[in-house]
């Protein structure tokens, strides 16, 4: 049975550093502990953190890739992934582990960032072919790719000992992986430690400390265009980014930029706000600290619709705001986009008014 675990949350000084998460499952005839392996895969899917990364899976075995079970890489939809792992079958047949790794690479495609590939297997596969596939997988990914392995088998047998050694070599092949024995992650504590090793890294303290909220751009239902009433807010966001060095904003300044508390309703004093903000910029209320500044635009949605659709809608909203800033002269490389979909609501999605508050792009200046 799967472990009774819940999504792992990062500590206050941690952040998710994975952009793509991919699981490879050995369902071949040599895997005589498939029930144990399946339960561990299900437990891992339950324990992975909430976040704006992509997830996918391939289970290999049988006598050709047509027999395989695959969940294509897509924005994390835990419910869908849990259903797919619950339906995993012991396919029997051959153990083409190398081919399965190459299939994972094709699914990753031209993506970049940081990818975590987690392999569950007894390691009874062709050694040279498998290690060659590990190298091809890492070389074909335009970013940092780490291979993690879980040995599910009997290490006391000759085949098991060789399989365990192969999985250890796979994990070390990318220089950033790790190899577990299935017994090490068979408890809630062990599973949490595994998830933390794969997903989390230290949050940059300096960047977090220098963050300043600018305000929110709100959107109509299922829309991604920026409404004219946010022009003043975007003008001031652009002015901050174009200072060219680190920015220290006086305590009252974010309030000046905050805008209306009601989405879609412009503050009647926006023109006055803009003039006052420009005066602050010109009269020394904004000082430099010798570090380049940039804008963070985080896209969000309400909970209406699927997680996959909302992830894409949040991305389009953040990109629309970024384009507005570019048109105001901000270099695109000074704008960082975050995509949260429905996973980080500002308020509960319990009413139409609350859902309107969650359809937003949050703007911050960082240095």
pLDDT-derived band at 211 (thresholds 50, 70, 90) equals low
pLDDT average, residue stretch 306-329: 92
79-95: per-residue pLDDT in tens? 999 999 999 999 999 89
% of the chain at pLDDT higher than 90: 65
Pair 178, 197: CB distance under 8 Å:
yes
Q: How does the average pLDDT of the chain come out, rounded?
A: 85
0.85 exceeded by pTM: no
* Beta-strand pair 20-26/54-60: parallel
Q: What is the pLDDT of residue 26?
A: 97
Q: What share of the chain is helix, strand, coil (3-state, %, to 5)?
A: 40, 25, 35
Strand partners, 200: 16
Q: What is the pLDDT of residue 159?
A: 79
Check: CATH 3.10.130.10 for 205-366? no
Which of 111, 117, 106 has the alpha carbon at shortest distance from 25?
A: 117
| Fold agreement between 14-202 and 205-366 | no
CB atoms within 10 A of CB 185: 22
Runs of H (alpha helix) within the chain:
34-47, 78-86, 97-108, 127-139, 158-172, 188-199, 205-209, 231-241, 253-257, 270-282, 307-327, 352-358
Q: Which of 217-221, 256-260, 266-270, 301-305 has the lowest mean pLDDT?
A: 256-260
In angstroms and rounded to an integer, the radius of gyration of the C-alpha atoms of the chain is 24
pLDDT-derived band at 336 (thresholds 50, 70, 90) equals confident
pLDDT average, residue stretch 189-197: 96
Q: Which of 62-76, 281-295, 320-334 has the lowest mean pLDDT?
A: 281-295
pLDDT-derived band at 65 (thresholds 50, 70, 90) equals confident
Q: What is the pLDDT of residue 210?
A: 57
107-118: per-residue pLDDT in tens? 999 898 999 999
247-292: per-residue pLDDT in tens? 333 223 333 333 333 444 444 444 444 444 444 444 433 333 344 6
32-62: per-residue pLDDT in tens? 999 999 999 999 999 999 988 999 999 999 9
Look at the domain 14-202 and name its fold.
Rossmann fold (3.40.50)
184 or 14, which is more confident? 184
Q: What are the helix and strand counts (H, E) for the chain?
A: 12, 14
Domain ranges, ordered by start, for the chain: 14-202, 205-366
pLDDT-derived band at 204 (thresholds 50, 70, 90) equals low
């Amino acid at each position: 049975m799967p472990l009774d675990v819940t999504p792992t949350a990062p500590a206050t000084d941690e952040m998710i550093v994975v952009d793509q998460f991919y699981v490879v499952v050995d369902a071949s005839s040599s895997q005589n502990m498939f029930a144990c392996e399946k339960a561990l895969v299900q437990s891992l899917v339950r324990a992975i953190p909430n976040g704006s990364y992509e997830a996918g899976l391939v289970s290999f075995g049988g006598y050709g890739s047509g027999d395989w079970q695959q969940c294509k890489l897509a924005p994390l939809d835990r419910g869908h992934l849990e259903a797919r792992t619950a339906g995993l079958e012991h396919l029997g047949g051959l153990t083409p582990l190398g081919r399965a790794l190459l299939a994972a690479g094709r699914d990753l495609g031209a993506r970049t960032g940081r990818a975590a590939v987690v392999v569950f297997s007894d390691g009874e596969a062709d050694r040279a072919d498998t290690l060659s596939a590990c190298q091809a997988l890492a070389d074909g990914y335009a970013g940092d790719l780490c291979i993690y392995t879980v040995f599910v088998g009997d290490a006391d047998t000759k085949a098991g000992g060789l399989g365990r050694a192969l999985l250890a070599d796979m994990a070390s092949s990318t220089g950033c992986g790790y190899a577990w024995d299935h017994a090490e992650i068979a408890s809630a504590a062990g599973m949490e430690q595994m998830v933390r090793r794969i997903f989390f890294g230290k949050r940059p303290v300096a960047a977090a400390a220098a963050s300043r909220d600018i305000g929110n751009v709100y959107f109509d239902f299922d829309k991604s265009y920026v409404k004219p009433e946010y022009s003043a807010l975007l003008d001031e966001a652009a002015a901050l980014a174009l200072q060219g060095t680190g920015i220290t904003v006086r305590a009252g300044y974010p309030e000046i930029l905050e805008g209306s508390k009601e989405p879609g309703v412009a503050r009647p004093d926006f023109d006055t706000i803009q003039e006052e903000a420009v005066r602050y910029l010109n009269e020394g209320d904004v000082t430099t600290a010798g570090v380049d500044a940039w804008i963070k635009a985080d896209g969000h949605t309400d909970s209406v619709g699927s997680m996959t659709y909302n992830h894409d809608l949040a991305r389009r909203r953040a990109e629309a705001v970024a384009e507005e800033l570019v048109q105001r002269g901000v270099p695109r490389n000074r704008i960082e986009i975050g995509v949260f979909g429905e996973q980080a609501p500002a308020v509960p999605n319990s009413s139409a008014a609350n859902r309107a508050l969650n359809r937003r792009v949050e703007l911050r200046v960082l240095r």
